[in-house]
Amino acid sequence: MKNENENKKFVSIFEDNWEDSEDWPPEKPEGFLEWFKAKFDKIPDEYKDRACVFLSGEIIDGEPHAAISIHYNRPETEDEIKTRENLQRIIDRQNKEDIDRLVAKHYGPHARIVNKGGNQS
C-alpha cells in the first residue's frame, strides 16, 4: 500500500520563458508535438501519470510573454531521505545552539529551558 505521507521529490524537466529560452518549442503544431514528446520521454514510465504541464502567457506593453513548466513528482530515494534527515539534524542542532546562546544572554549562563515534559534542553 502506498504511503500518502511519503516525501515527494519535485523533478523539473523543463522550466523556461519565451524571452530567455534557448530551447523554446517550435510554433508549428508538428514541431511542438515532437518537442513536447522529447521532453515527456525524459520522465520515467512509472511517473508519467504524475507529470504536470503549466502554460502561461500574457501581453505586457504589447509584447508577448509566455512560460512553460513540465515536471513530475516521485518518492525520495534512500540517499535523498538520508541527506534530508542529515540536513534537518544540522538545522536542529544549530537552532538549539542559537536558543541556548539567547537564553544564556538574556537569562544568565545557568538558565535552561524546561520542556512541558519536565526535560531540560
Is 40 inside any structural domain? yes
| Percent of the chain topping pLDDT 90 | 51
Instruction: Answer whether residue 34 shows pLDDT above 90.
Output: yes
Each residue of 10-20: pLDDT tens digit?
A: 999 999 988 77
**DSSP-derived secondary structure for the chain:** ---TTPPEEEEEEEEEETTT-SSPPPSSHHHHHHHHHHHHTTS-GGGGGG-EEEEEEEEETTEEEEEEEEEEEEEPPHHHHHHHHHHHHHHHHHHHHHHHHHHHHHH-TT---B-TTS-B-
Asked whether residue 119 carries a pLDDT value surpassing 50, the answer given is: yes
Number of domains in the chain: 2
Shared domain for 71 and 13, answered yes or no, is: yes
- Compare 93 and 2 and report the one with higher pLDDT: 93
Does any domain span residue 87?
yes
Q: What is the pLDDT of residue 117?
A: 55
The parent domain of residue 12 ranges over 8-75
